[in-house]
């Protein structure tokens, strides 16, 4: 074979290259649909990193086992895997790339199983086809002659999909205002020759045109023509085995179209170039693959997936409908209901495509949770409400009669209510959710505390009232007695009695208050109230005994006792020589000495003087306000004192 040199590039693979240049191939997309991180490095190894725009990219498209790899190897001197005749099966998947020998060409070969025969690989088949179309300048569409005109057989359905998504993804003008153009080079294999190439060309052109017209295009691109994006070109190759020589000749002829820029039918026209410098190709292709991979339009479901989607939706909907029906009358189906429903879905749907089954399961769980969440919150609210009602009722019950310990009652009931709330809330909780009852529980505890506080305040008030009543009863008689004995120690006696009785009252308050868990502040206030009321009770007792009528009666009795009885208490028998006037005056004067005695509460023993603070800082103790203690010591006003008697 003669060594041809075109545009400075050696054409024949055997021609010398710098030592470091090699022609090893690299798998740019692997079985896991991952883009290789090594392409940049590989471009260097191919000696292309400094090629700038002086390189081209070609890819191949076509059914499985139509001799694609064979064709590429013959055209470009690459060594892509060719199917082993003896095994007739291919298991690897992926896209391979190799540098063409003797030319600055990066050649891509797609390996994979046939999507139409093995449904689950359609996703890769379509993605790899789109990737090839979007990234290469020339896409070789490889097909048998007998496939021409057969829509399915010639992969036309796949081409339609790829056209469509390609238009959506990459159909806009490039930043420099050009359309990104691609050459579709149809290579017709095993061309027998009875049908001239021109006829085959016409058929294929018409088919492609029809496909283009049937595309659903984005609105802004709806008027775009096939020719705005693609040029079509054609070649035919004879049977590789039956017409081996002719095959060889045609291959060489076709090869020249890839290398001889002077030819009219030279394929790598500048308008197809993506204008990416060679050292940026890896990054650029990675980006395209990323777009292809993440594009939702391209998540082309397999038959199994389509079926699974349909059935899983149906199963899920049926289960949900049943659940909603049951959920209405029953207010408590939350956890059990959900578990039942999921189990039902699992049973029916798990035999379908696992990816779809799991996705739809997650959807179902999400729908369930959002349906059940308000139910759960409703249950918590009800629990909360009923817990508070129960707590209140039991508080009333627990404080019936005497002899209960308030703090004990509160603690016991609080524990009971918390426990029953928690039990209820845990029952309502649904597994695998982030639902929580903590907030509601905290609220409940707070409200129970404020109810208990209110109860305690009410009870404390009641208690103070009872103690006040007892106090009044207890001082009534002794004070009466004292007031009717107008001695100099009268106030001492009264205040002594008052003190003793009040001490007892305070002690009985403090004893009770302990069981109420009253605060120091509450005790101070309650005692202040108690002392004031006790004092006022004493005052009203004194007022009763020193009202005008009863005080006059006291004076009269006193006068009469002095006037009518002698010093020994014996009734006087008046004789004419008796100084009746003198005795009258003496008795009257003596009686009048009572006025200052009764007019003011003033004991002889200063230690018995009683004082009350006239003000208190506690705003709760409102009945302590406007109380001027010193004025309460005055019994008879100045005018009464002097004028009346």
Provide the binding-site residues for ligand GDP, judged by CB under 6 A.
64-70, 82-83, 85, 189-190, 237, 239-241
Tell whether 67 is in a known binding site. Answer: yes
Q: Is the dihedral of CA 335, 337, 338, 340 positive or negative?
A: positive
In the complex with ligand GDP, the residue whose CB is nearer, 155 or 379, is 155
Q: How far is the CB of 293 from ligand GDP (least distance, A)?
A: 23
Decide which of Mg ion, ligand GDP, none touches 126; Cβ closer than 5 to 8 Å per partner kind: none
Shortest CA distance to 53 belongs to which of 198, 268, 223, 318? 268
Decide which of Mg ion, ligand GDP, none touches 190; Cβ closer than 5 to 8 Å per partner kind: ligand GDP
Tell whether 370 is in a known binding site. Answer: no
Instruction: Specify burial of residue 36 (Cβ count, 10 A radius: 0-12, 13-18, 19+).
Output: buried
Cα–Cα distance, 76 to 141 (Å, whole number)? 16
Q: How far is the CB of 236 from ligand GDP (least distance, A)?
A: 11
**Of 69, 161, 460, 493, the one binding Mg ion by CB under 5 A:** 69
Supply 595's token pair.
């006025």
In the complex with ligand GDP, the residue whose CB is nearer, 63 or 387, is 63
In the complex with ligand GDP, the residue whose CB is nearer, 40 or 65, is 65
Q: Which stretch binds Mg ion (CB under 5 A): 68-76, 113-121, 306-314, 368-376?
A: 68-76
Q: 146-153 — which CB contacts under 8 Å span 24+ positions?
A: 146/190, 147/63, 148/188, 148/200, 148/203, 148/204, 149/203, 149/207, 151/207, 152/116, 153/63
Residue 630 is classified by DSSP as G
Binding to Mg ion by residue 63, rule CB under 5 A? no
Q: How far is the CB of 435 from ligand GDP (least distance, A)?
A: 55
Cα–Cα distance, 629 to 535 (Å, whole number)? 9
Q: Which stretch binds Mg ion (CB under 5 A): 34-42, 67-75, 179-187, 373-381?
A: 67-75
Tell whether 153 is in a known binding site. Answer: no
Cα–Cα distance, 25 to 234 (Å, whole number)? 27
Residue 100 is classified by DSSP as P
Q: How far is the CB of 44 from ligand GDP (least distance, A)?
A: 27
Q: Which stretch binds Mg ion (CB under 5 A): 64-72, 141-149, 229-237, 449-457?
A: 64-72
In the complex with ligand GDP, the residue whose CB is nearer, 83 or 595, is 83
Question: What are the residues whose beta carbons fall under 8 Å from the beta carbon of 153, sequence distance 6 or more?
Answer: 63, 146, 147
Residue with tokens 């895997």: 81
Cα–Cα distance, 225 to 209 (Å, whole number)? 9
Q: How far is the CB of 123 from ligand GDP (least distance, A)?
A: 19
Tell whether 62 is in a known binding site. Answer: yes
Cα–Cα distance, 97 to 105 (Å, whole number)? 10
Cα–Cα separations (whole angstroms), residue 234 to 88, 145, 238, 460: 28, 12, 14, 105
In the complex with ligand GDP, the residue whose CB is nearer, 246 or 445, is 246
Tell whether 602 is in a known binding site. Answer: no
Cα–Cα distance, 387 to 51 (Å, whole number)? 81
Q: How far is the CB of 89 from ligand GDP (least distance, A)?
A: 11
| Residue spans of alpha helices (H) in 484-611 | 490-515, 520-545, 548-564, 580-592, 594-599
SS3 620: coil
Q: Which stretch binds Mg ion (CB under 5 A): 62-70, 155-163, 325-333, 563-571?
A: 62-70
Residue 378 backbone dihedrals phi, psi, to 5 degrees: -60, -45
Q: How far is the CB of 63 from ligand GDP (least distance, A)?
A: 7
Tell whether 296 is in a known binding site. Answer: no
Helical axes 303-327 vs 354-398, angle rounded to 10°:
20
Decide which of Mg ion, ligand GDP, none touches 64; Cβ closer than 5 to 8 Å per partner kind: ligand GDP
Decide which of Mg ion, ligand GDP, none touches 67; Cβ closer than 5 to 8 Å per partner kind: ligand GDP
Q: How far is the CB of 367 from ligand GDP (least distance, A)?
A: 45
Tell whether 47 is in a known binding site. Answer: no
Tell whether 64 is in a known binding site. Answer: yes
In the complex with ligand GDP, the residue whose CB is nearer, 75 or 327, is 75
In the complex with Mg ion, the residue whose CB is nearer, 127 or 338, is 127
The annotation places the binding site at 62-69
Please give the residue ranges that form the binding site for Mg ion (CB under 5 A): 69
Residue positions forming the annotated binding site for GTP: 62-69
């Amino acid at each position: 074979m003669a060594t041809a040199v075109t545009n400075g590039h050696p054409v024949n693979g055997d021609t010398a290259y710098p030592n470091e240049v090699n022609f090893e191939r690299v798998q740019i997309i692997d079985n896991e649909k991952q883009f290789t991180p090594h392409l940049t490095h590989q471009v260097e190894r191919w000696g292309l990193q400094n090629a700038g725009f002086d390189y081209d990219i070609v890819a191949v498209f076509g059914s499985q086992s139509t001799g694609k790899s064979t064709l590429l190897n013959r055209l470009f001197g690459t060594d892509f895997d060719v199917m082993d005749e003896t095994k007739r099966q291919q298991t690897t998947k992926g896209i391979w790339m190799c540098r063409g020998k003797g030319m600055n060409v990066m050649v891509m070969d797609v390996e994979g199983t046939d999507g139409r025969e093995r449904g689950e690989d359609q996703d890769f088949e379509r993605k790899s086809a789109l990737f090839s179309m979007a990234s290469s300048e020339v896409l070789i569409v490889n097909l048998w002659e007998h496939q021409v005109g057969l829509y399915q057989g010639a992969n036309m359905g796949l081409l339609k999909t790829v056209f469509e998504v390609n238009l959506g993804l990459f159909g806009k003008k490039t930043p420099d205002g050009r359309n990104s153009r691609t050459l579709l080079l149809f290579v017709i294999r095993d061309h027998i020759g009875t049908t001239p190439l021109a006829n085959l060309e016409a058929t294929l052109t018409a088919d492609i045109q029809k496909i283009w017209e049937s595309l659903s295009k984005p609105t802004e691109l709806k008027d775009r023509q096939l020719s705005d994006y693609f040029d079509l070109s054609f070649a035919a190759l004879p049977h590789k085995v039956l017409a081996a020589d002719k095959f060889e000749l045609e291959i060489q002829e076709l090869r020249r179209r890839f290398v001889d820029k002077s030819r009219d039918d030279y394929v790598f026209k500048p308008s197809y170039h993506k204008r990416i410098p060679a050292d940026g190709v890896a990054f650029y292709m990675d980006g395209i693959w990323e777009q292809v991979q993440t594009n939702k339009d391209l998540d082309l479901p397999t038959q199994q997936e389509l079926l699974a989607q349909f059935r899983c939706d149906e199963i899920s909907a049926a289960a949900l409908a049943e659940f909603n029906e049951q959920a209405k009358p029953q207010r408590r189906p939350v956890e059990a209901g959900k578990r039942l429903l999921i189990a039902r879905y699992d049973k029916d749907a798990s035999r379908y495509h696992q990816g779809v089954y799991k996705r739809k399961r997650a959807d179902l769980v999400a729908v369930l949770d959002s349906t059940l969440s308000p139910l759960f919150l409703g249950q918590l609210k009800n629990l909360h409400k009923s817990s508070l009602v129960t707590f209140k009722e039991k508080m009333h019950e627990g404080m019936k009669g005497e002899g209960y310990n308030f703090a004990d009652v509160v603690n016991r009931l609080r524990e009971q209510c918390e426990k029953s709330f928690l039990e209820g809330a845990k029952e309502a909780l649904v597994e695998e959710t982030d639902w929580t009852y903590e907030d509601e529980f905290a609220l409940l505890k707070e409200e129970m505390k404020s109810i208990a506080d209110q109860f305690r305040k009410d009870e404390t008030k009641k208690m103070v009232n009872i103690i006040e009543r007892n106090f009044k009863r207890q001082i009534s008689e002794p004070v009466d007695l004292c007031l009717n004995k107008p001695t100099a120690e009268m106030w001492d006696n009264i205040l002594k009695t008052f003190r003793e009785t009040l001490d007892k009252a305070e002690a009985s308050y403090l004893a009770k208050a302990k069981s109420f868990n009253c605060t120091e502040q509450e005790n101070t206030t309650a005692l202040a109230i108690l002392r004031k009321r006790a004092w006022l009770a004493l005052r009203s007792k004194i007022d009763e005994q020193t009202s005008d009528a009863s005080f006059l009666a006291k004076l009269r009795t006193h006068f009469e006792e002095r006037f009518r009885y002698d010093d020994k208490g014996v009734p006087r028998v008046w004789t004419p020589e008796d100084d009746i006037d003198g005795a009258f005056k003496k008795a009257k004067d003596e009686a009048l000495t009572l006025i200052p005695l009764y007019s003011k509460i003033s004991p002889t023993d200063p230690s018995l003087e009683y004082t009350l603070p006239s003000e208190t800082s506690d705003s709760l103790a409102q009945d302590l306000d406007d109380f001027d203690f010193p004025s309460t010591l005055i019994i008879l006003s100045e005018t009464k004192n002097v004028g009346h008697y």
